[in-house]
Amino acid sequence: MSFGQGWNDSVEHVVGGIIYTVIINALIGINLLPPNFTILLIVLNVIFIVAVILKLGLSGIIYLVGWLAGIGLLVYGGILNTGLVGIGEIAADVGIPLIFIGYKLYSFFNDH
């Protein structure tokens, strides 16, 4: 994968995530989806992250470091003030990757 392709994929995922969040929040706002639906989405997101990281190995750690950098930029940019995400989502998006990075590093150093 080239840098350009990776950049394009990143932009597509960010824009897609924003559109997805706006649509879900709108559907919840007009009572077409129950508010608890977001909990299901968070659980599915966690399952997906776990599956990806377990499959990727060292690349998974690098991916998570990039993920954490992206979350940091979002928080620094004021994403919490927009109402698109809450503190609980940010905490999960930071806490779960940190747990996996710790686990992967612990496993790496104990296996060698």
pLDDT value at residue 112: 65
Inform me whether the pLDDT recorded for 45 exceeds 80: no
Give the separation between CA 112 and CA 110, rounded to whole angstroms: 6
Average pLDDT over residues 48-54: 74
Per-chain mean pLDDT for the chain: 80
Identify whether residues 104 and 54 lie together within a single domain: yes
Give the residue among 52, 42, 73, 58 at the shortest CA–CA distance from 104: 58
Sign of CA dihedral 53, 56, 57, 60: negative
Same domain membership, residue 16 and residue 57: no
Range of the domain at 13: 1-34
Tell me: do 40 and 30 sit in the same domain.
no
Band (pLDDT 50/70/90 cuts) for residue 44 is confident
Looking at per-residue confidence, does 8 or 91 come out higher?
91
pTM above 0.75, yes or no: no
